[in-house]
């Protein structure tokens, strides 16, 4: 068997796949499960590091320490060259990413009983919107990190193209397919001609009619749902005695997965104390300060994320906010959620429309929309896509596994 694998390092969840005749492609990475949540927890009590679901369990159990999530969102930003305090020492963010990808590789090798020197790693169409230089730098940074984690040879593939390879393995005739990959950090799209015959070709460049993407994903849905529904309970939008608004930066940091820890810095805490003394809605600011004092930002983000997921099926959901004084429960409706993310849906819609124009393809020519990515179950998103390509049938792939499977197929083609 080839010592090459496909690695889907995701904002929220990660997978590793390897093409093995007669055996499942995706490898079990944690307690028999095929996904490893992209989470790291540094336990200050026993100086141990845990990953994935175990990291979340340790954090929610109340152990003192530091939780890191959505590390992929650092790629392409100035934060990637920064550092954070972990267990009393400064740790570069690059080192944190290397540690997580190294853990992915080690678990995959254990699960498959083989070593992996080569990898095809998935990447969004754009790490950073409208900045080609930053995008190239983000890919090179990820390549360097993967090499430091033990992969000798690394290639990249656009995540929606990888998902297309997975779908292609399931069809019996040629189709023009719009792949919609809505992940945790980005929404990526590809228009691809697929067929069993084309799948035998080594060079698929002529089959890819257009690719596009926007830096919007599930963590953004979480953020704007939190900002619109939860953060007002903590004083967002309220006024100070001089009639200016309470600075929104505290709320944006708490609502954004990869910046939550910024709310816990000593500088932010001292500034917040000054602001709270001058706040008209003092009770709300006291709730905010209590949440920060207890390092409850990740807990709150998890409640919002669970609510978002539930609203894909239910018309309303009740968030359990028992750690916030006087606010044990909050009811959020699907209409609330749709309103909160409406502006994001507009950007997604315009990205797809531009993709069709770039390809010179009429919407009526699209046979299938293939949805993948953990955030593609949002109902309003699917409705927007359906309006753009009304004649196309909608197919739901493995929301968390299609990309990893396709990357494994690509790894076998590239490395043998």
> Pick from 99, 94, 106: which is nearest to 41 by CA?
99
The larger pLDDT score, comparing residue 130 to residue 199, is at 199
Mean pLDDT of the chain: 93
Please state which of the ranges 146-160, 191-205, 271-285, 383-397 shows the lowest mean pLDDT.
191-205
Give the separation between CA 353 and CA 389, rounded to whole angstroms: 9
CA angle 366, 129, 362 (to 5 degrees): 15
- Please give the structure tokens belonging to residue 240: 């100070």
- Please give the structure tokens belonging to residue 90: 């400064």
Is the pLDDT reported for residue 223 higher than 90?
yes
Give the separation between CA 330 and CA 355, rounded to whole angstroms: 39
**338: burial class by Cβ within 10 Å (0-12, 13-18, 19+)?**
middle
Q: Model confidence over 66-114: pLDDT tens digits?
A: 888 888 988 988 888 888 877 778 888 999 999 999 999 999 999 999 9
Give the separation between CA 231 and CA 247, rounded to whole angstroms: 12
User: Sorting pLDDT into bands at 50, 70 and 90, what band is 48?
Assistant: confident
User: Sorting pLDDT into bands at 50, 70 and 90, what band is 118?
Assistant: very high
Q: Model confidence over 129-147: pLDDT tens digits?
A: 888 899 999 999 999 999 9
Residue with tokens 């959020």: 332
Q: 3-state class of 321 per DSSP?
A: coil
User: Sorting pLDDT into bands at 50, 70 and 90, what band is 416?
Assistant: confident
Is the Cβ–Cβ distance between 36 and 52 less than 8 Å?
yes
Question: With pLDDT > 90 as the criterion, what percentage of the chain qualifies?
Answer: 79
Distant-in-sequence, close-in-space partners of 313: CB < 8 Å, separation ≥ 6: none
Is the pLDDT reported for residue 276 higher than 70?
yes
Q: Model confidence over 290-309: pLDDT tens digits?
A: 999 988 999 999 999 999 99
Q: Distances from the Cα of 289 to the Cαs of 61, 294, 302, 325, in angstroms?
A: 21, 9, 19, 11
127, 146, 49, 375 alpha-carbon torsion, rounded to 10°: 30
User: Sorting pLDDT into bands at 50, 70 and 90, what band is 358?
Assistant: very high
Q: Which residues pair with 90 in a beta bridge?
A: 85
Is the pLDDT reported for residue 199 higher than 80?
yes
Q: Distances from the Cα of 243 to the Cαs of 161, 240, 251, 278, 371, in angstroms?
A: 51, 5, 19, 10, 47
- The answer to whether the pTM exceeds 0.85 is yes
User: Sorting pLDDT into bands at 50, 70 and 90, what band is 270?
Assistant: very high
Mean pLDDT over 252-276 rounds to 92
CA dihedral sign of residues 360, 366, 369, 370: negative
The pLDDT of residue 40: 94
Q: How are beta strands 13-17 and 153-158 bridged, if at all?
A: unpaired
Give the separation between CA 231 and CA 281, rounded to whole angstroms: 13
> Pick from 294, 300, 259: which is nearest to 93 by CA?
259
The pLDDT of residue 2: 62
What are the sequence ranges of the domains in the chain? 4-173+399-415, 219-340
The pLDDT of residue 90: 84
| Fold classification of 4-173+399-415 (topology level) | Nucleotidyltransferase; domain 5 (3.30.420)
Is the Cβ–Cβ distance between 256 and 247 less than 8 Å?
no
Torsion region of 357: left, alpha or beta (phi above 0 gives left; psi -120 to 50 gives alpha) = alpha
Is the Cβ–Cβ distance between 226 and 340 less than 8 Å?
no
Q: Model confidence over 325-348: pLDDT tens digits?
A: 888 899 999 999 999 999 999 999
């Amino acid at each position: 068997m080839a010592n090459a694998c496909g690695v889907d390092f995701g904002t929220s969840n990660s997978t590793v796949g390897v093409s093995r005749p007669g055996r499942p492609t995706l490898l079990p990475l944690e307690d028999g499960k095929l996904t490893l949540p992209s989470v790291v927890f540094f336990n200050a009590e026993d100086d141990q590091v845990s990953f994935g679901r175990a990291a979340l369990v340790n954090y929610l159990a109340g152990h003192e320490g530091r939780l890191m999530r959505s590390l992929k969102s650092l790629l392409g930003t100035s934060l990637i060259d920064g550092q954070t305090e972990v267990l009393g020492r400064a740790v570069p963010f690059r080192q944190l990413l290397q540690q997580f990808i190294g853990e992915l590789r080690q678990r995959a090798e254990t699960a498959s009983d083989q070593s992996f020197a080569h990898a095809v790693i998935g990447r969004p169409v754009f790490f950073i919107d409208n900045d080609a230089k930053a995008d190239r730098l983000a890919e090179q940074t990820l390549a360097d990190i993967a090499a430091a984690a033990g992969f000798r040879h690394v290639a990249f593939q656009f995540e929606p193209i990888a998902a297309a390879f997975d779908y292609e393995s399931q069809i019996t005739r040629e189709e023009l397919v719009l792949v919609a990959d809505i992940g945790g950090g980005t929404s990526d799209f590809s228009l691809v001609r697929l067929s069993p015959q084309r799948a035998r070709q080594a060079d698929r460049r002529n089959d890819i009619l257009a690719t596009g993407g926007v830096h919007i994903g599930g963590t953004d849905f979480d953020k704007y749902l939190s900002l619109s529904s939860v953060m007002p309970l903590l004083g967002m939008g309220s006024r100070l005695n001089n009639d200016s608004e309470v600075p929104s930066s505290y709320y944006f940091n708490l609502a954004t997965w990869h910046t939550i820890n910024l709310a816990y810095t000593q500088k932010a805490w001292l500034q917040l104390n000054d602001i709270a003394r001058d706040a008209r809605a003092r009770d709300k600011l006291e709730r905010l300060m209590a949440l920060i004092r207890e390092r409850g930002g990740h807990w709150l983000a998890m409640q919002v994320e669970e609510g978002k997921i539930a609203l894909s099926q239910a018309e309303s959901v009740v968030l359990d906010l028992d750690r916030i004084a006087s606010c044990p429960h909050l009811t959020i409706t699907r209409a609330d959620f749709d309103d909160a993310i409406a502006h994001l849906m507009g950007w997604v819609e315009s990205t797809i429309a531009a993709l069709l124009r770039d390809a010179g393809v009429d919407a009526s020519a699209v046979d299938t929309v293939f949805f993948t990515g953990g955030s593609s179950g949002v109902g309003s998103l699917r409705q927007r896509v359906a309006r753009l390509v009304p004649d196309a049938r909608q197919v739901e792939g493995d929301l968390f596994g299609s990309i990893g499977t396709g990357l494994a197929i690509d790894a076998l083609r590239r490395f043998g």
